[in-house]
Structure 1
Amino acid sequence: MDDIAPEGCCSPGRGGTGAPSGGTGDRPAGAPGRADRTERAEGSARSPRGPDGADGDGTVLLPGGSFLMGTEDPEGFRADGEGPVREVRVSAFRIDAHAVSNRRFDAFVSATGHVTEAERFGWSYVFAGFLPAALRRGAGRPEGTPWWCGVEGARWDAPEGPGSGIEDRWDHPVAHVSWNDARAYSRWAGARLPTEAEWEYAARGGLEQARYPWGDELTPGGEHRCNVWQGHFPTKNTAEDGYAGTAPVDAYRPNGFGLYNMAGNVWEWCQDWWTTAHPAGRRSDPRGPGAGDAKVMRGGSYLCHRSYCNRYRVAARTRNTPDSTTGNLGFRCVRTA
């Protein structure tokens, strides 16, 4: 795969043509209001269940070191800037063992009153297959990626729009959060978003140039290790990995560093501005360009399929504007050690 997949296939930007007509920042009828969270917020600040190797706050200390970043894998997308392979050194840091869950994001919203960008704009992108026919018919769709629908009222606590909720998804990753929302959460948590180099170092789990966080086979011994699309995209998902949408943040085996879902489930925002130009030679703690118009996203999501978006590989990457929100886009945090 030498060419890039269609623009917006992984996670469409807010500037696309899928915006619902007449969308505003007002709360649509049926969308949960902030007062609706009052009772459920109690106890929401609990840390996620700690995996082996994680501290009580749900983070893992990584000692840092040198690794080979990037890939020249023939399955990759050269136009995405996945290569060349280069030696990169990262300093020690702590990283969340899991993506930020709905429970943890709810604690943040309850404590700060934060209003997400999806709420401000009044809409967000939802996968069409999750919507009732009436909503699909009335939703705008980005050109070239009709499986995305701009849905009024879709937001982090109403992931499929009015009438949906997260009561059975407290331990699933929060979605419909922009880069700006993720940064606001991380600052509240005394953390930050990972650099792209930190993210890839962590995702590799100590393996050198492996295709996935656990090795080179997608399903070793027939075992599913991540939440991606099975079947024929976008019309039939057999959900052989156990999930058609998001999975709990601690689903599947962790990688060698004790980190969960570094492939699939939801895309994860990184700190860096997007570039496809990577300087040659050894680099220490690279931070990406000083400015840009899109931020890096890593890891792939439950909608990734080899036929169109083979980006659940460790070295795969894509981007979106900092205000963009979709139902397959979340984040995790890091702290400098």
Structure 2
Amino acid sequence: MYLKFIYFFYLCLIIDAKENHENENHLTHDESLLTKYKDNDETCSESCSSALNRDKIDSGIQQNELNTHTIDTNYEDMVLIEGGTFEMGSNDTRFRKDGENPIRNVTIQPFYLDKYAVSNEEFAKFIDSTGFLTDAEQFGNSFVFDQLLPDDKKHIHPDLRAVQAQWWVKLDKTTWDHPEGPESNIKDRMNHPVVHVSWRDAVAYCRYYKKRLPTEEEWERACRGGLRQRLYPWGNKINPNNTHRTNIWQGHFPTNNTMDDGYFGTCPVDKFPPNNYGLYNMVGNVWEWTSTAALKQSTTERIKKGGSFMCHFTYCYRYRCAARSYNTEDSTASNLGFRCAKSIE
């Protein structure tokens, strides 16, 4: 039995950046660029998804038997996020189809959130303790950003590429510990976020440590760090004082990354300054799963937040607190990870 999963990749969606509160009547550098790319943005909504097939593994969230015991939560690397009401979303109508509109007041209860995205090192401990097999391991493949492959392999597999996003290759034997195929490894990336993990993998990990995935509302509350309607966790300027605050794409996507922030792919989970809540890399680096369902008609999809190292101002401008996207629960890719939350007991 086969189930057709829709793997969504978005191109060319851009919003007008707002200047900070003190200079709200003046255009920022980001805003001045928007006019150039506005036409592309208006034509790239429905066309930016690609249909790909995967064999169904009909075993639910627990895709294989985990050890029956769980591990007590370690709060050392978690932050208490106070409950309360905040302004969620944005009023930029160009992102209406994403569902981030309009700005609305949302009230949440206090909860704990990991300071960092789950790293390769931490995920390896989970695998060693449980023998868990991820979706990518069971399917036998995952989606790799072709620019991460060796030069002699960047243009292979033309028949296994996403229709509307040709830089994605469905590569056999690609897993969390072999992120660019079987010849790759993570020995020098143990402090980088784990990738090629599905929503179901993330839920299994969280459950083992008596945690859970954050809701979209919790995630956005935490991302904003107490700031009201700012684009990023630190404010409205992408590089305040000419310093990089996140790992995104510089140059021309997808062929040239100038690496002004120091990284081509992922970076360590504790790189760059944290936000006001002490949370690291809430935007950029890797997309992060949430528990919130996207409520699509044909498939079960989950909201992801934060954007990734592949995001560029002219492509996937979703390294903003309000931004959102979604994938099927079994989706795995080079830029998709997670962090855990925990309710107050």
Question: TM-score of the superposition, structure 1-length normalised?
Answer: 0.80
* Structure 1 residue aligned with 2:97: 79
SS of 2:161's partner is coil
Q: CA RMSD in A?
A: 2.5
Q: Which has the higher strand share?
A: 2
* Structure 2 residue aligned with 1:42: none
Amino acid at match of 1:87: N
Aligned pair partner of 1:62 in 61, 81, 85: 81
8 A contact 1:219–1:225 mirrored in 2: yes
Aligned residues with identical type, % of pairs: 48
1:227 maps to 2:247? yes
* Structure 1 residue aligned with 2:238: 218
* Structure 2 residue aligned with 1:168: 188
Structure 1's 6 and 325: CA in aligned 2 closer, same or farther, altered over 3 A? farther
1:119 maps to 2:155? no
Instruction: Give, in whole Å, the separation in 1 of the partners of 2:273 and 2:96.
Output: 30
Amino acid at match of 1:128: D
1:242 maps to 2:274? no
* Structure 1 residue aligned with 2:220: 200
Amino acid at match of 2:83: G
Amino acid at match of 1:64: G
Instruction: Give, in whole Å, the separation in 1 of the partners of 2:254 and 2:45.
Output: 14
Unaligned runs of 5+ in 2: 1-13, 15-40, 58-70
8 A contact 1:3–1:78 mirrored in 2: no
Aligned pair partner of 2:156 in 132, 137, 141: 137
Amino acid at match of 2:104: R
Amino acid at match of 2:232: Y
Q: CA deviation at 1:131?
A: 1.2
* Structure 1 residue aligned with 2:174: 154
Instruction: Give, in whole Å, the separation in 2 of the partners of 1:127 and 1:66.
Output: 38
Structure 1's 8 and 183: CA in aligned 2 closer, same or farther, altered over 3 A? farther
Structure 1's 99 and 8: CA in aligned 2 closer, same or farther, altered over 3 A? farther
Structure 1's 178 and 5: CA in aligned 2 closer, same or farther, altered over 3 A? farther
Q: CA deviation at 1:57?
A: 2.3
Q: CA deviation at 1:138?
A: 2.6
Instruction: Give, in whole Å, the separation in 1 of the partners of 2:309 and 2:255.
Output: 14
Unaligned runs of 5+ in 1: 26-44, 48-54, 277-288
8 A contact 1:175–1:329 mirrored in 2: yes
Give the structure, 1 or 2, with the largest relative contact order (CA under 8 Å, sep 6 or more): 1
* Structure 1 residue aligned with 2:36: none
8 A contact 1:4–1:78 mirrored in 2: no
* Structure 1 residue aligned with 2:52: 16
Q: Which has the higher helix share?
A: 2
Moved more, 133-142 or 322-331: 133-142
